[in-house]
Amino acid sequence: MEKNAIEQAASPGIRNGITAQGEDGYRYSIEPFLLADFTRPRPGGSVLDVGSGCGIIPLLLLKRHPGLTLTGVEIQPELHAWAVRNIREAGAEKQIELIEGDIAALTPTWKRESFDAIVSNPPYRKQGTGRINPDRGKAIARHELTLDLKSLVAASALLLKPGGSLTLAYPPARLAEVLAVLEGHGLFIHRLRFIHGHSGADASIFLVEAVKAQKTDCRVEQPLTVYNPDRSYTREMEEIYASLDHPDGADHDGKKRYRPRAG
């Protein structure tokens, strides 16, 4: 669940629509694009997005991998309504199913081992750390009020097929905890990538892919730097946005920019 603001962004190119979102509350920024680029789903596979917000990640994944069958779960009714609108306007109802609800409550009602991949941009902050935002939507997106790491990973371990992957974005301060929880549920680290706002700056995000019931060597990929010294996007970041039909980036209006966040 993303927490930074942008006005709105061009859609992932399905009929070149608009991925719209509300003026207040939760609003996505860079993480959906990073996750969509980092995720490597099986061709034609089934993918679950936990915390779909306005539906941006399923739409981006469908742009990159047209043969996927996607399911998005969102607990906030307002965001679910935006997602329904966006998927409908993109003409993607046959490929993307949207469910309003709590993944922890939904998991026991679903068939086990039914997804090839799960992706999530979850709340970063544990309860009891930092100030809780007075806006309920932003609070749920930033703090583990309705979904915490252990619950997310436990649900994923049940829903993933053997050999299926879970892909997450978290701040580096939680790296050791995330890796321990994943391996504790039989999800073994396959790939890691660290995201830096600027060259020479500490990483502000890491992306991790873990595979169910399949131990493998962990590959730490080359780090990604988002900005050049002049605040323009680096070539690699530009290429990521362009490949997802967002050539102007998540901040296409030129007003909002990615800012590294505290964990």
For 111-149, the pLDDT digits (tens) are 999 999 999 998 776 666 656 655 555 545 564 545 789
pLDDT attached to residue 135: 59
Is the pLDDT confidence value at 169 over 80?
A: yes
Is the pLDDT confidence value at 93 over 80?
A: yes
**How much is the pTM?**
0.84
pLDDT attached to residue 123: 79
> Residue 1 class from Cβ within 10 Å (0-12 exposed, 13-18 middle, 19+ buried)?
buried
Is the pLDDT confidence value at 170 over 70?
A: yes
CATH number of 9-243: 3.40.50.150
Q: What is the pLDDT of residues 216-249, one digit of tens each?
A: 899 999 999 999 999 999 999 999 999 998 876 7
Would strands 187-198 and 160-170 be described as parallel, antiparallel, or unpaired? unpaired
